[in-house]
A and B are shown apart, each in its own frame.
Chain A
């Protein structure tokens, strides 16, 4: 039984919804999971929505000051599909501004790790992961561009699933980098994810990149990867913290005992993934963010007496630091004089990376720790330079850059903090990831500090 069926099978005491709202508001004031919380009926299973996904008439800002008090006139397709199945919307979750971050720290309200509040919750879907870790019955609609589902899922000890690029409609998702953005899910079990993924996936008349993964799987010879073979990339060894390395080798032994064939393999292009990702994502982001001019929605600039350039410049000073950095870098890499050195080259390298990874994924899964480091303290993460920070996405970027489905699942605990591993499969093989995690859950018990709303 998944937790959705379980929830509906249980009888709720009167005042259930009210006390859940109060408990959640209380804990939220410390952990900053939600940017806003909506009162729910208590009768329906709740879902949260990352703040970069539009919910009609609910403030949706991608956690940016520039979109302050923006009320979308329409629901994102995912939201529409959840509501049509009678799920209750419970609130918008905290995130790095526009999804720009690995630790959730590009937010005015710092998200905190529910296992230890001195530590980061991860980003950019920070609030989605915290909400999943504190609520007993809940599923989070999250989004990943370069690892924004995997990273916080690993730090908060929940299952974070990022589907094949295009499996879920992006209609209503505020763009970060359109060729990379994927809506995904976080939950406390793979079963719940399977249940909700069935609801939200599939083609949409409002997103032309949205596909039917099952149809595509049947049409192509892709995704025939052996389901009991797991590859570990040799090149990750040098990137891992000692402590991560030892926990991870424990996982590998366990999987071997479960009957998986573990193989190592070379992936020489791994170090090209980060520059490639950041060039493409920033180039696209800088064009997506061009529309925020203080004109039609969000924070409005009323200085209409100014000339266009001053008006736009003044409005756009309201972006946060990381957003400004990415707009400047992104504008630079697509500039006519350097485009071939950066943007166009990155597109080519991306093609090579996809081909090379596909070669491996046709023969099995790729497994790695989700993050190369142990969960950092908030203060330590804050003192990282941007380049150090970007470097920590090395393990989550490859599948994101190539549109391969991947899942981060809890596999161990260290000093009370969870650790996550990330499994990647071939395009359209989304369900084999969920099969794997369900299998893993049979012999591994996830731990949670909070169980708000348990009945």
Chain B
């Protein structure tokens, strides 16, 4: 059966290099407009582009991570159009010999979303539109961009979300923060011709644009209209897409080979090894019989968490390691291995972890563990609390949340581990309820 909805993506992300793609200007100077510029990125006569090898290295690593066929030699093309943000009036991009072709990202369902091509290109300058004039900031001009083009293999919004999440995670582990600057064109066809939605910024708008387009095309079809090949633009403020042009008047870029760069062999460039967090989560979950979902939540966008799990799961129960990681996140702490281990021990021994204890661990103080707490003290505390306060018991029958209230009260009073209290309470409470 033909799929009703087909979505293909063209995703642009900034490559995190220190310098720009073709010159040695700082690529990420956000301080002062037009301060990170030179004759090359301003397109001055006589200047020539010099390719940044680090950008190639990162692009090659992405291609490798997405199982894409890496080209032996790459070359560049000039895409010519006139716009004030384009200093040379052409953009140096890749067409015939991109970084790589083919590849895929595998979803949880083991469905593969195919990648068509991966290429690098230069970012134009930034235009700031004011009320009756516009300003241009060339700091961004020549920043390296990575373009990832997929096949139209995404069939619904859930797949779109999962694909983007997975891609984000892969890129995150290669050092690319997709959140800073994600631009995309989203191609949507809903049982008709392909409609390309351009100028989308950010993941949220990608989803909104796709959703809008699916519904718009459905409604159009329902009313008997024919969906033609078309380019539309996303209006983020109103969350709608607006027609730019019908495909018949396809844009003419007069693309030619970039003679100033020639051909580059990328065969010998080093690769940063990829990390597939969903695969790792699955393996860890099986190995330690833990929840895959719990693990993936921790490691998808957290290199540190993955490192800690790899280092300490096994020696400590994986749930303890995850609890410890959650503690770090909650209190926004980073601990060295020794102190992290102290935290693991504390949690294993049911020590109540609050801002005080975590500070003690951070400062290397020894933590009083629950083994030193008089266990009968906790039992009698529970007993007296329940005996003295009949209302609590009544409430518990109607509202089990009271359980947590009791734990909280006692934990506070005796500085004891909530887990331990909870174990005792589980034993003692039914007796009281039955006794009543």
Residues of A within 8 A of B (CB): 53-54, 60, 62, 67, 70, 72-74, 76, 170-175, 177-179, 205-209, 283-284, 286-287, 290-291, 293, 295-297, 304, 308-309, 312, 331, 334-336, 339, 343, 347
Q: Which residues of B contact A72 (CB under 8 A)?
A: 39, 44-46
CB-based contact B262/A208 at 8 Å? yes
CB-based contact A73/B50 at 8 Å? no
CB-based contact A291/B260 at 8 Å? no
- Least CB distance from A35 to B in Å reads 16
Give residues 252-269 of B contacting A (CB, 8 Å).
Answer: 252-257, 259-262
- Least CB distance from A209 to B in Å reads 6
Pick from B42, B51, B80: contact of A287, CB below 8 A: B80
Q: Which residues of A contact B47 (CB under 8 A)?
A: 171, 206
Pick from A74, A287, A312: contact of B254, CB below 8 A: A287
Which 10 pairs between the two chains have the least Cβ-Cβ distance?
A290-B89, A179-B259, A178-B259, A172-B46, A334-B254, A174-B45, A54-B46, A291-B88, A291-B89, A178-B260
Whether B43 sits at the interface, judged by CB under 8 Å, is: yes
Complex Cα distance, B181 from A446, in Å, reads: 65
Give residues 79-117 of B contacting A (CB, 8 Å).
Answer: 80, 82-84, 87-90
CB-based contact B84/A295 at 8 Å? yes
- Least CB distance from B290 to A in Å reads 52
| Binary interface encoding of chain B residues 127-148 relative to chain A, with 1 for a CB under 8 A from any of its CBs, else 0 | 0000001000000000000000
12 cross-chain CB contacts under 8 A: A60-B46, A72-B45, A170-B48, A171-B48, A290-B80, A291-B43, A291-B87, A291-B88, A291-B90, A296-B43, A297-B44, A308-B84
Whether B78 sits at the interface, judged by CB under 8 Å, is: yes
Give residues 59-95 of B contacting A (CB, 8 Å).
Answer: 78, 80, 82-84, 87-90
CB-based contact A287/B133 at 8 Å? no
CB-based contact B252/A336 at 8 Å? yes
Q: Indicate whether A171 sits within 8 Å of B88 (C-beta atoms), given known contacts A208-B51, A287-B256.
A: no
The residue of chain A having its C-beta at the shortest distance from the C-beta of B250 within the complex is A336
CB-based contact B259/A312 at 8 Å? no
CB-based contact A206/B87 at 8 Å? no
The residue of chain B having its C-beta at the shortest distance from the C-beta of A313 within the complex is B82
Q: Which residues of A contact B44 (CB under 8 A)?
A: 72-73, 296-297
CB-based contact B259/A73 at 8 Å? no
The residue of chain A having its C-beta at the shortest distance from the C-beta of B255 within the complex is A334
CB-based contact A296/B42 at 8 Å? yes
Q: Contacts A287-B80, A308-B83, A336-B255 given; 5 further ones with Cβ under 8 A? A: A76-B46, A171-B46, A284-B259, A291-B90, A347-B257
The residue of chain A having its C-beta at the shortest distance from the C-beta of B134 within the complex is A304
Q: Which residues of A contact B82 (CB under 8 A)?
A: 290, 293, 308-309, 312
- Least CB distance from A285 to B in Å reads 11
| Binary interface encoding of chain B residues 226-268 relative to chain A, with 1 for a CB under 8 A from any of its CBs, else 0 | 0000000000000000000000001011111101111000000
Q: Indicate whether A205 sits within 8 Å of B50 (C-beta atoms), given known contacts A312-B82, A331-B254.
A: yes
Give residues 22-48 of B contacting A (CB, 8 Å).
Answer: 39, 42-48
Complex Cα distance, B87 from A209, in Å, reads: 22
Q: Indicate whether A208 sits within 8 Å of B89 (C-beta atoms), given known contacts A72-B45, A296-B42.
A: no
- Least CB distance from B144 to A in Å reads 16
CB-based contact A67/B45 at 8 Å? yes
Complex Cα distance, B44 from A54, in Å, reads: 11
Q: Which residues of B contact A206 (CB under 8 A)?
A: 47-48, 50
Complex Cα distance, B260 from A171, in Å, reads: 10
- Least CB distance from A339 to B in Å reads 8
- Least CB distance from A323 to B in Å reads 14
- Least CB distance from A345 to B in Å reads 13
Complex Cα distance, B96 from A343, in Å, reads: 14
Q: Which residues of B contact A67 (CB under 8 A)?
A: 45
Q: Indicate whether A207 sits within 8 Å of B252 (C-beta atoms), given known contacts A287-B90, A291-B88.
A: no
- Least CB distance from A139 to B in Å reads 21
CB-based contact A335/B257 at 8 Å? no
